[in-house]
Amino acid sequence: MASPILPGTGLGSGLDIGAIVTALVNADKAAKQTQLDTQTKNNTLKISGVGTLKSALTTFQSTLATLGSKTNPAFAGYTATSSKPETLTVTSDNTAVSGSYSVVVKNLATGSKVASAAFAGGASSAIPSGTLKISQNGTDYNVTIPANATLQSTRDAINTAQGSNGISANIVTDASGASRLVISSNKTGAGSDLTVSGIAGLEIDGTKVMSATPAAGDSGSVGDVAKDASLTIDGLPVTSKSNTVSGAISGMTLNLVAANATPTTVTVDNNTKGLQTSLQTFIDAYNTLKSTVDSLSKATPDEDGKLTVQAAFTGDALPRSLIAGIRAEFTNTKTNGKISFLSEIGVNTDPITGNLKLDTTAFNKAMAVPGASGQVQQLFTGTDDTNGLLARVSKSVDPYLKPSADGKTKGLLDQRLAILNNNTRDISDQQKALDIRVASLTKTLTAKYNAMDLLVGQMKATASNITSFFTSLTAQQSAK
C-alpha cells in the first residue's frame, strides 16, 4: 500500500523530506544545468552577433552602392553644369577637362510617327487578314493580322508583337467618326522613318509628310519626318541621331531637352570639394563597420574589472578575415591610373585604432595636380563595372552575405546562423531530457524517503507498544 505521506516534514521520522529530496536532485543536475545555461547564453550571444554583423555589412554595401551610382556618381572627378537645364543637362566622366562651352540647341532629334488613311467605320472597321510589315532602317517588323480583325485589334496586335522593339500603335478618331491607325517609334534620327505595307488600307510611306488638313485617303508622316538633333558647340555644327549627345565634348554627355536659339553655357570644373565629401563618407562607412566588428570580437572586463566577458566573435577568425579582405583591396591596384592607393590622396590608417583618417592638407595638395580629380574618380569607380575600389570592396563582402553563384551554398554568415540554430535545438532537446530526468529522480527519491519515513513511523509505534507492555508488566509486578 502506497504511503500517504507527501514531501515535507516526515510524520514518522521528523525529517524535512522535501528539503532533502530537493538538495539531492539539485546536486545531481547542477553540473549539467550549468553547462546548458552556459551553452544557451553563448549560443544566443553568437546568434545576436551574426545578426548585428549582417546588418552592418548590408549597410556598408548600401553606402558603397550609393557612392558608385552611375546616375548620380558621388566620385565624379568633374562637375558639369548647364546655365539652362530646361534646354539641356550635362554629365561628365573622369576624362573630362575643365572648361566652358557655348551650346545652341537648334532642334531636337525626333522619331517617326505615321498615320494610315481614314476608316469611316471607326475603330471597329474591318481589316483584311495577312502579315503587316513595318519597316525601319532596313529592318522589317512583321505582325500577323488574323481573320475578322478590326482596326482596334490590329492596333493591339502591333503593340503586343512590337512593343519590345519600341514600336507602338494607337487610334485617332476625328469629329466625323473616321479613324486612323497611328504608328510611332522611339528610335530617333534622320532615316528612321517608318514604312507600312502588306495589308490593304494600311499602306503608309513615312517619308511623305501629310498635309495639315489631309484627305480621307491620305497617309504618311505626321508633322514631319524623323530628324537628327542639330546644335552648335562654340559655333561648330554638331548633329546627333539621339538627344543624348556623347563624345562631342570629350568626357561629357549633353542631354538635350528643348530647342533654344539662346546659347546655353556649359561649365566644367574640378570637383575637389565633392570628392572630399564622398571620400569622407567612404571613410566613415568603413570605420563604422570596423567599430562594429571590433565590438563583436573583443572581450571586455566584467563589472569588477577582473574576469573577461566574451563577445559574440571572440577568438573567431571570421571577423579578422572580413576586415583583412576589405583592406587588401585598398592596396590592390586594378585600374592602372596615376593614383593607385588611398595613401596618395591623404587617406591613412590610425596606428592605434586601425581606422581610416583623412589628412585634408595632403588631399588638397594631391588635388592640385592637373588631372588628379579624374584619377580619383577612376580609382573609386574604375574603368569598368568591376575594377574600381568601390566595386572590389563590395565584392569582398559578398561571400559573407550572398549565396554561391550556383545557389547551392549559403553565404558564410547564413551558414554560421544555420549551425547556431541547430545548436539551439540541440540545447533545447538536452534541457528537455534533463527536466525529464529531474522529474523522475524527484519522484523516485520522494517515494524512497516516504517509504523510509513510514517504516520509521512503524518502528516507533512498535517500540512504543513494547515500552508500554514492559511498563505495564513492571507495574503489575510492583503491585503484588
Please answer whether residues 228 and 190 qualify as being in contact, where contact means their C-beta atoms are separated by less than 8 angstroms. Answer: yes
Give mean pLDDT, residues 22-45.
89
Task: Assign 4 a pLDDT band (cuts: 50, 70, 90).
Answer: very low
CB atoms within 10 A of CB 50: 22
- Across residues 349-360, what is the average pLDDT? 94
* 15-24, 103-112, 416-425, range with the lowest pLDDT: 15-24
- Whole-angstrom Cα distance, residue 249 to residue 247? 5
Identify whether the C-beta of residue 397 lies closer than 8 Å to the C-beta of residue 322.
yes
Phi, psi of 429 (to 5 degrees): -65, -40
Q: pTM, whole model, 2 decimals?
A: 0.66
Q: Give the model's pLDDT for residue 384.
A: 87
Q: Is the pLDDT of residue 335 over 70?
A: no
Confidence of residue 124 (pLDDT cuts 50, 70, 90): very high
Query: Which pLDDT belongs to residue 100?
Result: 94
Say how many C-beta atoms besides its own lie within 10 A of residue 11's C-beta. Answer: 16
| 3-state DSSP percent of the chain in helix, strand and coil, to 5 | 45, 25, 35
Highest-confidence range of 54-68, 367-381, 394-408, by mean pLDDT?
Answer: 54-68
pLDDT at 239 over 80: yes
* 257, 87 contact by CB (below 8 A): yes
What pLDDT, in 10s, does the model give residues 148-175? Answer: 999 999 999 999 999 999 999 999 998 8
Whole-number average pLDDT of the chain: 89
pLDDT digit string, tens, across residues 291-308: 999 999 888 777 776 667
38 Ramachandran zone, left/alpha/beta (phi>0; psi -120 to 50): alpha
- Centre a 10 Å sphere on the Cβ of residue 29 and count the other Cβ atoms it contains: 17
* Nearest of 296, 384, 247, 298 to residue 52 by alpha carbon: 296
C-beta of residue 249 within 8 angstroms of C-beta of residue 266: yes
DSSP 16: B
Please give the Cα distance from 52 to 295 (Å, whole number): 10
Strand ranges in 94-178 using DSSP code E only, listed in sequence order: 99-107, 111-115, 126-127, 130-136, 139-145, 149-150, 167-173
Using one digit for the tens of pLDDT, what is the confidence trace for 439-475?
A: 988 888 888 877 887 787 777 778 777 888 777 777 7
Check whether 206 has a pLDDT greater than 90: yes
